[in-house]
Amino acid sequence: MQSSMSIARTLASSLEKYDTRNRTEANAMLEQILRDNPDLIGSYVCFEPNAFDGVDATYINTTGHDETGRFIPYWNTIGGEVKLDPLVDYQTSSYYQLPKRLKKDVVTEPYLYEGALIVSFVSPIMKEENFQGIVGVDVSLNYIDDIVSDIEIFDTGYASVVSRTGILMSHPTEKEWIGHKSLNSFDIPNIQKLKVDVYNGRSGYIETLDPITGKEVTIFYEPVETGKFSFLLIVPKEEMLAGVTTLQKQLAGISFVAICFMGGGALLIARSITKPIKRIVGNFNKISDEAIKGKLDTRANTDVDIDFRKIPEGLNSILEALEESNASIQEMKTVIDSSPAIVFKWKATPNWPVELVSNNINLLGYSPEEFDSGHLWYGDIVHPEDLDRVQKNLDKQMAEGQNDFTQEYRIITKSGDIKWVDERTLIKRDKKGNITYLQGIILDITEKKEAEKAIIEAKMIAEAANQTKSQFLANMSHELRTPLNSIIGFSDVLLEGAFGKLNEKQKKYAHNINNSGEHLLEIINDILDLSKIEAGKMELKPEHFGLEAIIVELKNSLEPLVKKKQLILDVDTNQEYPVYADKLKIKQVLYNILSNAIKFTPEKGKIAIEINYGDQEITISVSDSGIGIPSEEQDKLFKPFRQLDSNSNRKYQGTGLGLALVRNIIDMHGGQIWVESEAGKGSTFIFTLPRQNGF
């Protein structure tokens, strides 16, 4: 089988590199392979339409071809002589369709072809990872039946071979079943396990009835890896166990004689050991009485016969272990009593009678004796306002089958103080699931609760302060904006010449007043927007819009400020850059960054805007050739700053409010912002926005 598969692989490899594409040469090669390997009964190729030489139409219905003209020669010795036939059923049969789909070597299930049981070993022809066709060789499986049918097991046992799907490939007596019947044809016990294991290539055995003889048999099976077959060994149980039955009878006789001898010997031995055993038992009774009284230092007498000496010695070892264990228990009890965790064991009944409590219950002012005597139950110290809630929580956990739970509630100390405790309880159940008792610890968490209360009060005070701050800023806005708007309006009237012509000095003065007023209004607006963000009252109104539109709009509106500077729009205005964001806020971000870049860029300098549109986010960068920001000040970018330019006496001035607002707006959109700058060499402000909803 391995040899046949190797032939198919070698032919496939040869045809993949065969560039001549001559059908006569290829046929001669296939015929020679068949003649040189007498174990084969067929060799063939099957190419996809026009995949071999591209001239299928020339060979329609010629020798070794069908009505398609495809190159499908089948050289075979079925019938005796070597002959050439075209392949049939390749459009539907697994010998072609399976390797085409899997693109790997295939060994087909056995099938009958003109009276012969054969199997095909097929290898795909691939070229540049594209399927071209197949190469295959057919092998008769009659030799398997010849070999396997000669196997004999005991008197009537025999062997067989089946395919992966259970088709019979051999049988010593029922030759007409070969190739026609499968494991599914027999209605016998345990057949399902056999079929599943054979299909999955597993070994094993089943006990069942032979469908031919009706005898009870054990069928052993083992996979044959190369052909995906399985070898079956059918062994009659009565023949297999015949030797065991004979041996059982012999052993029964031997056992009877041995029992007689052993019984007599045991009687003699029993009389000799009864006396020392009685003495040891008496010694044990004395020790047990002492142990009940709490005296674990008593030891058994080892002055007995040497054969029995290990018994009292073993007892003494147990007593020593118990004494050490008792010491460990006392040490653990001391640790618990000195810890803040109070240990309880309660009955699982209302009001929780106490079965056990650690001595450190005195942390609450009570003594263990008050609970042990039944004078006080645990429910008596739970705060009356919490008692019903605690009981309901416990009942719920027990009803749901939980084995542990945690809850916090208040208790009343013996002195009348109220404390908060954290209870951690285990619900103990028996094997039937019935609740037997509760055990757990309680821990004083009063300080924690008071701290939480203080935090809540602090938050309320902070919220009140924020509200007061917002009201103050709103009033300030009203009080400042009204006179500023009047000043700006009056300066506009002066510049328009409503009160007569102004000389250059007057115009410059009026223009400065106008610019200062507008700048102050911008600062007020930034302060108010920042206060809204801090108070959580800034509302975003997301929508879909194109970034290129607002960039062009801003470029046109800022053009008068540029003057002798160059504003470069490195954005393809014919391309859309859709984004989902608050259009007005993003416009405000770009205006702040662009106006800063223009402000701090000298004459003949350059300001450039660039957009990179990625799969997940959009990156917008604004670069200038201005004064730059020193590296030690870049981490303070969004805080108010005033920094001297290292290359001149000019001041790098700004309130920082606009950039702080920019940072907060970008954060609210789920983006990021940073600056890359070097003093005297310009700055690049970069920020990102998610392409989709970033809120």
Spatial separation of the C-alpha atoms in residues 184 and 194, rounded to whole Å: 10
CA dist., res. 484 & res. 129, Å (int):
77
Q: Please give the pLDDT value at position 225.
A: 73
Q: What is the DSSP letter of 280?
A: H
Q: What is the DSSP letter of 498?
A: T
Pairwise CA distance, residues 533 & 525, whole Å = 12
Position 273 scores a pLDDT of: 63
SS3 188: coil
Q: What integer pLDDT is reported at residue 644 of this predicted model?
A: 31
Nearest CA among 568, 572, 579 for reference residue 619: 579
Is residue 83 very low, low, confident or very high in pLDDT (cuts 50, 70, 90)? Answer: very high
| 618 has pLDDT over 60 | yes
Those residues with Cβ within 8 angstroms of residue 665's Cβ, 6 or more apart along the chain or in another chain: 533, 582, 585, 586, 588, 589
Rounded Cα distance between 379 and 411, Å, is 9
What is the C-alpha to C-alpha distance for residues 648 and 328, in angstroms, rounded to an integer?
Answer: 81
In the chain, ranges of CATH 3.30.565.10 domains: 543-690
What would the two tokens of residue 232 be? 């079956």
Structure confidence at residue 346 (pLDDT): 87
Quick one: which of 602, 595, 607, 604 has its CA closest to 654?
595
- pLDDT at residue 191 in the model: 83
Predicted confidence at residue 451, as pLDDT, reads 86
Structure-derived torsion over alpha carbons of residues 330, 333, 339, 340, reported in degrees to the nearest 10: -160
Amino acid at site 113:
Y
Is pLDDT of 652 > 60? no
Distance CA 564, CA 552 (A): 19
User: Over 70: is that where the pLDDT of 198 sits?
Assistant: yes
CATH code 3.90.550.10 for 543-690: no
Q: Identify the bridge partners of residue 218 per DSSP, sorted by sequence position.
A: 207, 235
Residue 348 has pLDDT above 50, yes or no: yes
What pLDDT does 272 receive? 63
Looking at CATH, the fold of the domain delimited by 143-240 is given as Beta-Lactamase (3.30.450)
Dihedral sign (CA 523, 524, 525, 527): positive
Residue 479 has pLDDT above 60, yes or no: no
pLDDT for position 649: 35
- Average pLDDT, integer, range 184-195: 83
Q: What are phi and psi for residue 232, nearest 5 degrees?
A: -110, 135
Dist. CA 645–CA 599, nearest whole Å: 14
Judged against a pLDDT cut of 80, whether residue 564 lies above it is answered with no
Q: What average pLDDT score do residues 596-625 get?
A: 87
Name the more confident of 614 and 151: 151
Sign of CA dihedral 65, 68, 70, 72: negative
Q: Which residue has the tokens 């990102």?
A: 688
**pLDDT for 651:** 32
Mean pLDDT value of segment 183-200: 85
Residue pair 622/608 in contact (Cβ under 8 Å)? The answer is yes
Fold of the CATH domain 327-538:
Beta-Lactamase (3.30.450)
Question: What was the pLDDT predicted at 606?
Answer: 87
Alpha-carbon span 26 to 112, nearest angstrom: 27
Closest CA to 429 of 442, 438, 420: 438
The pLDDT of residue 688: 92
Which residue did the predictor score with more confidence, 479 or 94?
94
| Paired tokens of 167 | 């088709």
Distance CA 34, CA 76 (A): 7
- pLDDT at site 511: 61
**Mean pLDDT, the chain, whole residue set:** 80
Query: CA of 97: how far to CAs of 73, 112, 114, 133, 533, in Å?
Result: 17, 18, 22, 10, 67
Report pLDDT for 69.
Answer: 95
| Beta carbons of 110 and 103 less than 8 angstroms apart | no
pLDDT of residue 12: 93
Tell me how long the chain is.
Answer: 695
Strand stretches in 445-565, DSSP E: 542-546
- Whether 114 shows a pLDDT value over 90: the answer reads no
Q: Tell me how far apart the alpha carbons of residues 249 and 257 are, in angstroms, rounded to a whole number.
A: 13
Overall average pLDDT of the 363-391 stretch = 89
Output the pLDDT for position 565: 80
Q: Which of 170-174, 655-659, 673-677 has the lowest mean pLDDT?
A: 655-659
Instruction: Give the pLDDT score at 640.
Output: 37
DSSP per residue, 60-104:
TTSTT--TT----EEEE-TTSS-EEEE--STTT-HHHHHHHHH-S
For the record, the structure tokens of 410 come out as 């208040």
**Dihedrals phi, psi of 585, to nearest 5 degrees:** -70, -40
Confidence of residue 665 (pLDDT cuts 50, 70, 90): confident
What mean pLDDT is predicted for residues 463-484? Answer: 57
Least confident of 211-225, 278-292, 334-348, 362-376: 278-292
**What is the structure's pLDDT at 10?**
93
Q: Which one is predicted more confidently, 28 or 313?
A: 28
H or E segment at 637? none
CA distance 470 to 483: 21
Residue 218's CB is within 10 A of a number of other CB atoms, namely 16
The pLDDT value given to residue 681: 80
pLDDT given at position 614? 84
Q: Which ranges in the chain are annotated with CATH 3.30.450.20?
A: 1-141, 143-240, 327-538
pLDDT of the residue at 654:
41
Q: What pLDDT is attached to residue 485?
A: 58
Q: How far apart are CA 470 and CA 453, in angstroms?
A: 26
Both tokens of 292, joined, read 């009940």
46 has a pLDDT exceeding 70: yes
Q: Per-residue confidence at 308, pLDDT binned at 50, 70, 90?
A: low
Contact 607, 591 (CB under 8 A): no
**Which range is least confidently modeled, 111-115, 139-143, 527-531, 609-613?**
527-531
Q: What is the pLDDT of residue 326?
A: 65
Looking at per-residue pLDDT, the higher value among 259 and 301 belongs to: 259
* Rounded average pLDDT over 252-270: 74
Reported as a pLDDT band with limits 50, 70 and 90, residue 650 is very low
* Fold held by 1-141: Beta-Lactamase (3.30.450)
CA 449, CA 446: separation in Å to the nearest integer?
5
Mean pLDDT for the stretch of residues 246-271: 74
Element (H, E) at 127: strand 116-127
**663: which 2 tokens?**
């940072």
Is 474's pLDDT higher than 60? no
* Structure tokens that stand for 479 in this block: 């009080």
pLDDT above 80 (res 13): yes
pTM (global) more than 0.75: no
Residue 241 is predicted with a pLDDT of 82
**Amino acid 462: pLDDT:** 65
What's the DSSP call for residue 176?
A: G
What pLDDT is stored for residue 31 in this prediction?
94
Asked if residue 402 has pLDDT above 70, the reply is yes
Average confidence (pLDDT) over 534-556: 80
Contact by Cβ (8 Å): 208, 190: yes
Does the pLDDT value for residue 648 go beyond 50?
no
Q: Taking the mean position of all CA atoms in its chain, how far away is CA 269? A: 68
The pLDDT value recorded for residue 656 is: 64
